Structures are given as C-alpha cells and as structure tokens.
Amino acid sequence: MSYLKDINDAWSWTGLKAEEIVGSNEFGNLLLRDTEECFWRVCPEELTCEIVAQSLSSFSQLIDNDDFILDWEMVNLVKLAR
C-alpha cells in the first residue's frame, strides 16, 4: 500500500489530497504537495495537517526561511531524543 494513500485516507477530512511527499524530518513530519499545487505540513506530534504555502513560489520562500528551517529540523529535540 502506498504512503500517499494512507496519508490521504487519514487526513482527507482536512481537505488534503496529497500528490507528492516533498520532505520529511526525523520526527515524522511531512511536507506534501497536493493536487492543486498547495503545500501542506503534517505534524503527527501535534495532530495537525495544515497548508503552509499556496504555491510553488511561496513554498520556495518558506524553505529558505531560517525560522521555518529551525522549526522543521528540530535540532534540539532530535539531540534530546537521541
């Protein structure tokens, strides 16, 4: 069974129709592109699934943002968990 099918089955109530997994981090967070070219973040530890960018250009800006990268990489939490 595909990960995308599982993700869509679990989170479809949010409106997510994931087409591609574009990133994941060490805590299982996912960045997804949907069928309408919006980008979503799934945070299992917070039980959230939200749009983080409405287009490829906004997503490109987001992944260049230092605050987003700090939150995404979770360096301190990864060190603590290890």
Give the pLDDT confidence score for residue 1 in this predicted structure. Answer: 47
DSSP-assigned letters across all residues of 20-55: EEEEE-TT--EEEEETTS-EEEEETTTTEEEEEESS
Domain count, the chain: 1
Task: List the domain range (segments joined by +) for residue 33.
Answer: 3-81
pLDDT per residue as tens, the chain (82 positions): 489 999 999 999 999 999 999 999 999 999 999 999 999 999 998 999 999 999 999 999 999 999 999 999 998 888 998 9
49/46 Cα distance (integer angstroms): 9
Residue type present at position 25: N
